[in-house]
Structure 1
Amino acid sequence: MLRKTRPIPSFLAPFTHQQHTLRKLRTKSNNRYTRKIHDHDHDDEQRIRKSNDNQEDKIHFYKSKGQHILTNPRILDSIVRKSNINPDDTVLEIGPGTGNLTLKLLEVSRKVVAVEIDERMVNVLNKRVAESGFQDRLTVIRKDALKTEFPRFDLVVANIPYGISSPLVAKLVYGANPFRSATLLLQKEFARRLLASPGDSEFNRLAVNVKLVADVEFVMDVSKRDFVPCPKVDSSVVIIRPKAEIPEVNLEEWWGFTRTCFGKKNRTLGATFKQKKKVMELLRLSKKIGLNSESIVNADSSDCDEDDDDDEERGVHEDCNSSSCLEAETSSFKEKIVEVLQSSGFEDKRPSKLSNEELLQLLSLFNQAGVHFHHQAEPKNGAAAYSS
C-alpha cells in the first residue's frame, strides 16, 4: 500500500528552504574547489600531452622498440620525488625519449646523462632542454645502452624499454659503476618477477640473481593509459638499491649453478641433478677445473718428467678414454653429487622454495666436493646472470 507524501508544515518551510540553499552553496563551493585542483592537474597534463602531440606529428613511435612516452605529470613527479635526488647528484637516464622525465630530473639534480639510441628522439630532447635553459646540465650519449660504457653516476632514474629490461638490470647491478639506487619504470609482469620471494609462483632465477647483490622495493603501479602510444600492459615502478656487502662467491659459479637449479624450478634438486645428461655436463666442467688447477701446480715440474713416465701416463689416459672407463667415472661422479644432496638435506627440496642463503650453502658444498658449474675462474660481465 502506497503512502501519501505528507505536506511540509507551513512553519517549517522557511527552515527547509534555508537548508536547501546552504546545501546548494556548499555543493557549488566544493565543486568549484575540486574543479580548481582538477583543472590545475589537467592543465599540466594537457601541456605535456600537447608537447608530445606536437612531437608525434614529426615522430613515429615504434612500439616494437619499446618507445612508450610517459605523459602523466603526477606520475613523473612521483618518480622524481621517490628517487630522493640530491642537488649535487649526477643522474643516469636510459631511454629519455622526448624528455618528459629528463626535464624534471634536470630541475632537481646537478647533471643528467641521457643514453638514447634514436637520433630523432635526441633532436627533440635537445630542443626541449635548450628551450628550458638546462642545456649545460645535460649530456646525451647516442648509443645502445647495452653496448656503451656508462660514465660515473650517482643514481639511475629511467623508463626502460621493455625489450632490454633483463640485460640492462644485469648490467647495472653487476656492473663496475657503484651507484646509490636505480628507480626504474618496468613492465608490470617483469617487476613482479623481480620482487618475487621464495615460495611465490613468480619466484625465478632473475629474482635470485638480483637479490644476491641488491634489494628491490615496490613503489607503485602505472596504468598503460598514462603512455603515448598506449602499450598493451600496465607498468610498475621499483627501486633497486645495491647491498653494501655481498657474499663471497665466484659469480660465474653462482650464475651457472642457478641456471642448473632453475631450469625446472619446481622439480626437486635430486631429480634435476640425477639426470645422466646433467651429470655428464657437470663432470666435463669439473674436469676442466681440475685440469686447470693441475696445469698451474705442475707447470714448473713438467720439464723434469722422464720419457718413460710420459709414455706410461699416456697409456693410462688412453685406457680411461674407453667407454667403460667413462661410464664408471660418470657413475662415481653421480654418487658424489647424490651424497652432497642427501647429506645436506637438499635432495627433496625445490629451488622455487629456497632462499639465497640456502642456495649459497649448497653451492659451497658442491664446490668442496669437486663439483663445479663453470670453468672460467673470474666473471666477465652480468650477461650470464640471465642467459638460459
Structure 2
Amino acid sequence: MLQCPKSSVNRLSCHFLLQLAVQFHQVRAKSGRPPFKNRYNENDDNGDSFTRKVKENQEDRLQLYKSRGQHLLTNPRILDSIVRSSGVGPGDTVLEIGPGTGNLTLKLLQVANKVVAVEVDKRMVEVLNKRVSEHGLDEKLTIICKDALKTDFPDFDLVVANIPYGISSPLIAKLVFGGFQFRSATLLLQKEFANRLLANPGDSEFNRLAVNVKLVAEIDHIMNVSKRDFVPIPKVDSSVVKIRLKSEVPNVDLNEWWAFTKTCFGKKNKTLGATFRQKKKVAELLNLSKLTSFDEDIGKHNSCDLSDDEEDEWEDLGTGVKSFKEKLVEILKSAGLEDKRPSKLSNKELLYLLSLFNEAGICFHDESKPVDINASFATS
C-alpha cells in the first residue's frame, strides 16, 4: 500500500497519483490485455522484442486451443535452427502441417521455392494469409484448409512442421507408408513421443511405433525445445527429429508385418514363448492361418471364449489345436527366440521369425477386416 506523509500537499499529490493509476488499469482492463506481471514469461531467457510482440499479437487476437494442440513456437532462434536442419533450398517445395499463424512458414518462404501449408483452422488461415501478404510472399505459398489426415498431399520435396501432438502417430504413419517420395521430414514433436520414436532394442521405451517406422525409415534426433518457447505454454518439452526414407526396404507384406508386430508387442516384456502359448492367441492364429491339416478344428473353438491363462488345461480343445500350439512353439525354438522378449529384438530378428511363420502357413493379418495402420502404430 502507498504510504503518504500527513502534509496536505503530499496528500493531494498521492491522491492524484492514485487516480492516475486507477485510470491506467481501467484502460488496460478494457483493452482485454493481461496485467503486466502476467503478460510475459518471467523465466523467458530470450528477452527479445520479437517474442514479446508475437505473444502480444497472437494471444490478444486469437484464442488458442490446447486441446487441438495449438501451441505456437515463438523463439526465432529455434525457428531458424529448424529451417537450417531441414536442409531446405531455393529449389524445394516444402510441405508444412499445422502452420498456425505462420512463424515457421515465413522462415521457410524466405529460403524455399514454394511452401504448401495444410491448416484445418480457418482463423489461422486468415492470419497466415495476412502475414504472408504483408511480406510480399503470396505467390510462394499454397494453403490447403483441410484435415491433414484426410486430404491428399501434392508433390513435395521436404516436410518441415510443428505437428499438433494429437496427430503425431497417424501423420507419421501417413508420411512413411503413404507412398510419398521426399528427402526428409523435420518434425517438432512432444519430447516423450520423440523418445519412443527414437528408441532402440533394449531401451525401456522401445515399442511397436519405433519398430514399424524403422522398417522403412531412418530417424535422427536434432535438438530439444523448451516448453517456454511456445504460446500457450504446453505441459511438456518438445524435440525435433529428422526422418529419412530408406532407399531399400525389406520385401515383406506390410499388412502381415503390422499384425505380427501388434501380436508380439501386445505385452512387449513377455517372452514370445509365453505369448504364443496363450489359448486365445493359438485359437486366433489357427482361424487365420492357411492350414489344411488342422481344418477339422477350425470353427469348433471361438477364440473370444478362451482364457489368456497359459496354465489352463488343453485337453478339451482337441488334438488339432494342441498340435497347432506345438507347431508355433517349434518355430520359435528353431529361430532361437522362444525365451526372447520383443522389447529386445531387432527388426532383422522379427522379420526372420515372421518369414518362418509365413512359410509354415501361419498368418497374422485378417483379410476380412480393413487395415487399421494407426492401430499398428500404437506406442505399446
TM-score, normalization: structure 2?
0.80
- 2:150 matched residue in structure 1: 147
1:362 partnered with 2:353: yes
Alpha-carbon deviation of 1:52?
4.1
- 122 and 104 in structure 1: CA distance in 2 versus 1, 3 angstrom threshold: same
Counterpart AA for 2:273: G
Which consecutive residues of structure 1, in runs of 5 or more, have no partner in the other structure? 1-40, 292-316
Structure with higher helix content: 1
Is residue 262 from structure 1 mapped to residue 265 from structure 2 by the alignment?
yes
In 2, Cα distance between equivalents of 1:326 and 1:268: 24
Aligned to 2:185: 182
User: Pick from 104, 108, 113: which aligns with 2:111?
Assistant: 108
Q: 2: distance between equivalents of 1:47 and 1:141?
A: 27
In 2 relative to 1, CA 238–318 (structure 1 residues): closer, same or farther, beyond 3 Å?
closer
Calculate percent identity across the aligned residue pairs: 69
Q: Partner of 1:36 in structure 2?
A: none
- What is the CA RMSD across the aligned residues, in angstroms? 2.4
Check the 8 A contact 1:251/1:378 in 2, yes or no.
Answer: no
| Whole-angstrom distance in 2 between the partners of 1:319 and 1:222 | 56
**2:286 is matched with which residue?**
283
TM-superposed CA distance for 1:57, in Å, is 1.5
Q: CA deviation at 1:329?
A: 2.1
Amino acid paired to 1:347:
E
8 Å CA contact 1:117–1:142 kept in 2: the answer is yes
Cα deviation per residue 1:159-201 (whole Å; 9 max; x = unaligned)? 0001111111111011121111000000000000000000000
Pair 1:161-2:174 in alignment: no
The answer to whether residue 240 in structure 2 is matched with residue 249 in structure 1 is no
Give yes or no for the alignment of 1:71 onto 2:74: yes
1:128 corresponds to which of 110, 128, 131 = 131
Counterpart of 1:16 in structure 2 is none
Does structure 2 conserve the Cα–Cα contact (< 8 Å) formed by 1:92 and 1:112? yes
2:343 matches 1:340: no
Give the corresponding residue for 1:53: 56
After TM superposition, give the deviation of residue 54 of structure 1 in Å. 1.4
TM-score by length of 1: 0.78
Cα 1:377/1:367, change in 2 over 3 Å: farther
1:350 aligns to what?
341
Give the number of aligned pairs: 321
**1:329 is matched with which residue: 311, 315, 320?**
320
Task: Give the 5 Å matches for 1:197-236.
Answer: 197-236=200-239
> Does structure 1 conserve the Cα–Cα contact (< 8 Å) formed by 2:272 and 2:340?
yes
For 1:69 and 1:196, how far apart are their aligned partners in 2? 27
In the TM superposition, residue 320 of structure 1 has moved relative to its aligned partner by 7.2
**Which residue in the other structure is 1:25 paired with?**
none
**1:371, distance to aligned residue in structure 2 (A):** 1.0
Cα separation, partners in 2 of 1:57 and 1:345, compared to 1, 3 Å: same
Structure of larger gyration radius: 1
Moved more, 374-383 or 231-240: 374-383
Determine the C-alpha separation between the residues in 1 that align with 2:122 and 2:253.
40
| Other-structure match for 2:366 | 375
Shift of 1:318: 8.4
- In structure 2, the gaps of 5 or more residues are 1-44, 302-314
Determine the structure 1 residue equivalent to 2:309.
Answer: none
2:264 and 2:54 mapped to 1: Cα distance? Answer: 49
Is 2:297–2:320's contact at 8 Å kept on the other side of the alignment?
A: no
